[in-house]
Amino acid sequence: MTSEQYQQKLVVDKGGIRIDVWLGDNIDSISRSRLQKLISEGQVIVNQQVCESKKTILKTGDEVIVRIPPPVSSHLIPEAIPLDILYEDEYLLIINKPANFVVHPAPGHSQGTLVNALLSHCPDLKGIGGVERPGIVHRLDKDTTGAMVVAKTEPVLHHLQGQIKAKTAKREYLGVVYGSPSVSSGIVDLPIGRHPCDRKKMSILSEDKGGKPAVTHWLLKERIGNYSLIHYELETGRTHQIRVHSSHIGHPIIGDPLYSHGKSVGVNLTGQALHAFRLTLTHPITNNTLEAIAPLPQEFEKLLRILRLKIHG
Q: Which residues are catalytic?
A: 141
**Which among 256, 136, 283 has a CA at the least distance from the CA of 200?**
256
Can you spell out the DSSP letters for 158-190? HHHHHHHHHT-SEEEEEEEEES--SSSEEEEE-
Can you spell out the DSSP letters for 26-75? H-TTS-HHHHHHHHHTT-EEETTEE---TTPBP-TT-EEEEE-PPPBPPS
Tally of CB atoms within 10 A around 9 = 10
Under a CB-based contact definition with an 8 Å cutoff, are residues 70 and 78 in contact?
A: no
Under a CB-based contact definition with an 8 Å cutoff, are residues 300 and 271 in contact?
A: no
Under a CB-based contact definition with an 8 Å cutoff, are residues 267 and 301 in contact?
A: no
* Euclidean distance between CA atoms 307 and 262, whole angstroms: 14
Reduced to 3 states, what is the DSSP secondary structure of residue 224?
strand
Under a CB-based contact definition with an 8 Å cutoff, are residues 93 and 150 in contact?
A: yes
Tally of CB atoms within 10 A around 60 = 10
Tally of CB atoms within 10 A around 170 = 14
